[in-house]
Amino acid sequence: RLMVRQVIVTKTKDIDKKLRPMMISMGPCMDPNQAFLVRRGLKTLPLRIEKAQATAIKVANFLESHSKVSWVAFPGLKSHPQHELSKTIMKGPGCMMSFGIKGGIDEGRRFLNSLKLCVLAVSLGGVETLIQHPASMTHAKLSPEARSALTTLEN
């Protein structure tokens, strides 16, 4: 079961007084069961994040050394331009990465269709290992030139 929670943090009590009635009327309050599930999940969150980051480092190293991968963007890699900076501002490299498959958009689609463990989806809210192909999914309606201008590569 996926639960998305939100929080509003204000700088002053005046802003809070203005926003609080709207927040209450829109119903962002959890029912007791949701609160229990969130609290239970938070107890193991540090352990799960630690494991996910360790796994992400292994995956990124594997991809970086693979002959069919043209590039990997992941701050946990020493080759990443902000690797040293990321070590000073983050407790870990995170769990998200980008990489390119040699061969362009068609090879990218073939790669995605061959995966068995990743879910082909665009989301940040679940616990599944997700993968997406911006050129054929979120940015599919853009021309190759427009995607290139957004630094969304074909691969």
Say which DSSP state 98 is in: E
Contact 108, 101 (CB under 8 A): yes
Amino acid making up residue 113: N
How far apart CA 51 and CA 79 sit, in angstroms, is: 22
Name the burial class of residue 101, with classes exposed (0-12), middle (13-18) and buried (19+) by CB atoms within 10 angstroms of its CB: buried
What's residue 28's pLDDT?
64
How far apart CA 90 and CA 53 sit, in angstroms, is: 12
User: What is the widest separation between alpha-carbon atoms in the chain?
Assistant: 58
Say which DSSP state 120 is in: E
Answer whether residue 54 shows pLDDT above 60: yes
Average pLDDT, the chain: 85
State pLDDT tens for residues 12-53: 899 888 888 877 777 667 778 888 888 888 899 899 999 999
**Which backbone phi and psi does 71 adopt, to 5 degrees?**
-160, 155
Confidence (pTM): 0.72
How far apart CA 5 and CA 24 sit, in angstroms, is: 14
Supply 64's token pair: 């970086």
Instruction: Determine the distance from the C-alpha atom of residue 117 to the mean position of all C-alpha atoms in its chain, rounded to a whole number.
Output: 17
When mean pLDDT is compared across 24-38, 57-71, 98-112, the lowest value belongs to 24-38
Answer whether residue 121 shows pLDDT above 90: no
Cα separation values, 113 from 74, 92, 119, 132, Å? 23, 31, 10, 11
Answer whether residue 152 shows pLDDT above 60: no
When mean pLDDT is compared across 4-8, 71-75, 88-92, the lowest value belongs to 4-8
